[in-house]
Structure 1
């Protein structure tokens, strides 16, 4: 049976006033420190005593002293209240300047491509921020897992997230090693892939990803086959370089291997566009200075490029 719970109101009401009176041994002294009237101080203490069910002070016309209950309450309440004040200062500091631990959930493949050039300069510019990169192919729930933000290909970013582009859109390219193409020939159309060894990617939901193409403006998806199934693009890239088969990869991942002629692009006319890589986070209103600083750093870096 579902129970109804209510949050107890005013659990800390009067504690700061009590501590001030105990410190000064004076209601007037506490009132002066707190910037209120002695009557307001007296009312707050009476309300606290009523809520606790015990007298905390012995009052005379000449002095104010603590009862045994007051002494015990002071011994526990003073350090606890000081911890609350310290916690408030820590939270306030994190809310006012870039500081603390910045946790990012990222695919392993984007670390050398996007983040390695950025992290060193960001850390130097923000010495009070620690950066933690959690490399995973899983599409984690960044809020429930305690991440400040995530980085993913645009098609994997949920619609309710705030998304910041890290790259422009790029093509998805089919590549193979020169040795593989010399032995097996170049495919001329996507249909020719049925005669080729194709490296496949298993999605996080367990399904094998189809290869996507743009056939003169018409979206086309093909189920391919081959000797290797991988769960990340980096493994597929390495296998393609070694001549295991053809791979379909995000173009930025294959750029270096294409430039050094370790790989050759095929089916160029059919390469579809992908939306690019995005940094995403749950709510613009909840963004902390450490994340805002990282976003600004990324934007400045990409604009400079």
Structure 2
């Protein structure tokens, strides 16, 4: 088989999995038009339409579905064969695509990126940070990072560091107008930002102490899903914010924000790096996992 044939098959495989020329192009590192051209060449060569295209969607024909069923295992074996060559290299080689929540990526991935690349100069790390809940298989990621509560079935999950924690913060100017709360019940008398997911679903401010658990639902005038905006609103003295501790700590240390209710907030559920159970784990992904598990106090999972 010619190299161009294999490239065209790989382009078709990407489009068929993503149901999108744009996403396929992003995965392959080329333009959507290049992917479209490759698939059209393949269809011309085999003399059969493999994809149904409209301005809004892409779907498989019966012939395309049959070809994809045969190609997917084959490309999996090719990937495994190429990855096996890592045993003859000093370090892993190739691209690893990781999806992580935008709000936690700096604290989870930021501290390990430098050392990971330095130890593995042939590793290409591609990180997409978004708080949107992503299907890592459909969107071509090797792995994702999420709290345990949002993991899907069919995924292998590996516990990673750090274990994150929330903090309630407000500006000195805000607390000149209102007393610092000492218990979650005091928040009823405060202006509090409502936390949202990108879907607009809201989540409560969660507190726990001495076996007592309290979920507080803010009713303030401001609802946000971006922690950076929450911090800016808190700095402006508009309201109290419930944000990741690591994001707020430098501002607390500098005196620009004041933290409260610290003894009422416990660490969140563990973060996990997860990947499809049936997918071969590359040496590059294993290097990422090892870096993110380093120093974990609990290696039971």
Could you tell me which of 227, 230, 250 is aligned with 1:236?
230
Choose from 189, 192, 198 the match for 1:195.
189
Kept after mapping to 2: 8 A contact 1:197/1:226: yes
Counterparts of 2:133 and 2:187, CA distance in 1: 29
1:227 aligns with 2:216: no
Matched, 1:151 2:145: yes
Task: Indicate if the aligned counterparts of 2:80 and 2:282 stay in contact, CA closer than 8 A.
Answer: no
Once the two structures are superposed, residues 96-124 of structure 1 have per-residue CA deviations (whole angstroms, 9 ceiling, x without a partner) of: 42222211111123332232232232223
Say which SS state the counterpart of residue 280 (structure 1) adopts.
Answer: strand
Of 240, 244, 252 in structure 2, the residue corresponding to residue 250 of structure 1 is 244
In structure 1, how many angstroms separate the alpha carbons of the residues matched to 2:80 and 2:263?
Answer: 54
Aligned to 2:83: 94
RMSD of aligned residue pairs (Cα, Å): 2.9
Matched, 1:128 2:122: yes
Give the equivalent residue in structure 1 for 2:28: none
Alignment of 1:1-305 (within 5 A): 92-97=81-86, 98-158=92-152, 160-283=154-277, 286-300=280-294
CA distance in 2, matches of 1:261, 1:160: 46
Is this contact kept in 2: 1:200–1:208, CA < 8 A?
A: yes
SS at match of 2:246: helix
Q: Name the CA distance, whole Å, in 1 between partners of 2:246 and 2:157.
A: 20
Please list every run of 5 or more consecutive structure 2 residues that lacks an aligned counterpart in the other structure.
2-75, 87-91
* 8 Å CA contact 2:99, 2:129 repeated in 1: yes
The higher radius of gyration belongs to: 1
How many positions carry a matched residue from both structures?
220
Could you tell which deviates more after superposition, 145-154 or 292-301? 292-301
Q: SS of the residue aligned with 1:291?
A: helix
**Hey, what's the Cα distance between the residues in 2 that align with 1:99 and 1:227?**
50
- Contact 1:227–1:244 (8 Å) recurs in 2: no
Which whole-Å CA distance do the structure 1 matches of 2:237 and 2:105 have between them?
25
**Counterpart Cα distance in 2 of 1:257 and 1:159:** 39
Task: Give the TM-score normalised by structure 2.
Answer: 0.64
Q: CA deviation at 1:136?
A: 0.9
C-alpha distance in structure 1 between counterparts of 2:111 and 2:237, whole Å: 29
CA deviation map 1:209-230 (0-9, x unaligned): 1111115312211211223221
What is the TM-score with the length of structure 1 in the denominator?
0.64
- Residue 103 of structure 2 contacts residue 131 of structure 2 at CA under 8 Å; is this kept in 1? no
Given that residues 96 and 289 in structure 1 are in contact (C-alpha distance below 8 angstroms), is that contact kept between their aligned partners in structure 2? Answer: no
CA deviation after TM superposition for structure 1 residue 140, in Å? 0.7
Q: What is the alpha-carbon distance in structure 1 between the residues aligned to residue 128 and residue 292 of structure 2?
A: 18
